[in-house]
Amino acid sequence: MSQFTCSICGDGFEQKSRLERHMATSHPPQAPSAADVEKVLSGIQYPKSKEDLVQYASQKESIVGQDLFDLIKSLPSRTYRDSADVAVALGELKSGKELRSAEEISKSGQPSKKGGKTAATSSVSAAAIAKVLSGIDFPKRKNGIKEHAKKNISKVEVVSGKEDQNAILDVINRLPDKEYNNMADVEKSISNII
């Protein structure tokens, strides 16, 4: 009979050190994800500054681990319009890309000089896409996301009419064809497109 038992898989070990090694290799702790951050920040009313997000998270001590709290504290200092903005900032942090300033983000609504699809999609915000996809049930493949977006496209308040709606649908159409388990998965793929 084993003296030490893994609480996750039930494997038994004679020595505590072997159980510890098993836990470290077979069941390592997961790094916090964008979905974890979204869960902690659920219920917050945007727009909020980074400091507001940190304060809100600190009030939820029972569900926020230290790694997750540190991740929220490492967000760039800017104003976040919605959870999609937070997810984009997390994507910037995790990818090691140079973090954009608040001024760059506000300018990103302007068409770029690159032309082509980049110019067409640069006026699309992650917030507009998140709004189009609000209420979607996961998991979904790309086609399910496209269908949901087509039904909800009228929910997006557009500045210049159909062109913006078409640009949003174009971005969604350019998503990789795979299964998406949550909004954070979608936002991560979208951040590589826009």
State the DSSP code for 65: -
Number of structural domains the chain divides into: 3
Mean pLDDT of 28-33: 72
Q: In terms of domains, do 122 and 135 share one?
A: yes
pTM of this structure: 0.42
Q: In terms of domains, do 179 and 136 share one?
A: yes
Mean pLDDT of 50-63: 84
User: Cα(57)–Cα(44) distance, rounded to whole angstroms?
Assistant: 10
pLDDT, residue 118, reads 41
Q: In terms of domains, do 26 and 44 share one?
A: no
Q: In terms of domains, do 92 and 118 share one?
A: no
Q: In terms of domains, do 56 and 126 share one?
A: no
Instruction: List pLDDT tens digits, range 61-81.
Output: 666 778 888 888 888 888 998
Query: Residue 15 in 3-state DSSP?
Result: coil
What Rg, from alpha-carbon coordinates, does the chain have?
20
Q: In terms of domains, do 55 and 124 share one?
A: no
Contacts of 187 (CB under 8 A, 6+ apart): 34, 84, 87, 88, 91, 126, 129, 130
Is there a contact between 187 and 84 (Cβ–Cβ < 8 Å)? yes
Helix orientation angle between 83-95 and 183-193, rounded to the nearest 10 degrees: 60
Q: In terms of domains, do 101 and 149 share one?
A: no
pLDDT at residue 2 greater than cutoff 70: yes
Q: In terms of domains, do 14 and 45 share one?
A: no
**Domain limit, last residue, from 54, 76, 107:** 107
**Domain limit, last residue, from 107, 140, 175:** 107
Q: In terms of domains, do 189 and 118 share one?
A: yes
Torsion sign (Cα): 185, 113, 108, 104:
positive
Contacts of 167 (CB under 8 A, 6+ apart): 120, 121, 123, 124
* Diameter over CA atoms, the chain: 72
Q: How many CA atoms are closer than 13 Å to the CA of 64, on its beta-carbon side?
A: 22
Mean pLDDT of 125-139: 80
Question: What range does the domain containing 7 cover?
Answer: 1-30
Q: In terms of domains, do 40 and 65 share one?
A: yes
- What mean pLDDT value characterizes the chain? 77
Mean pLDDT of 21-30: 83
**Domain limit, last residue, from 91, 107, 123:** 107
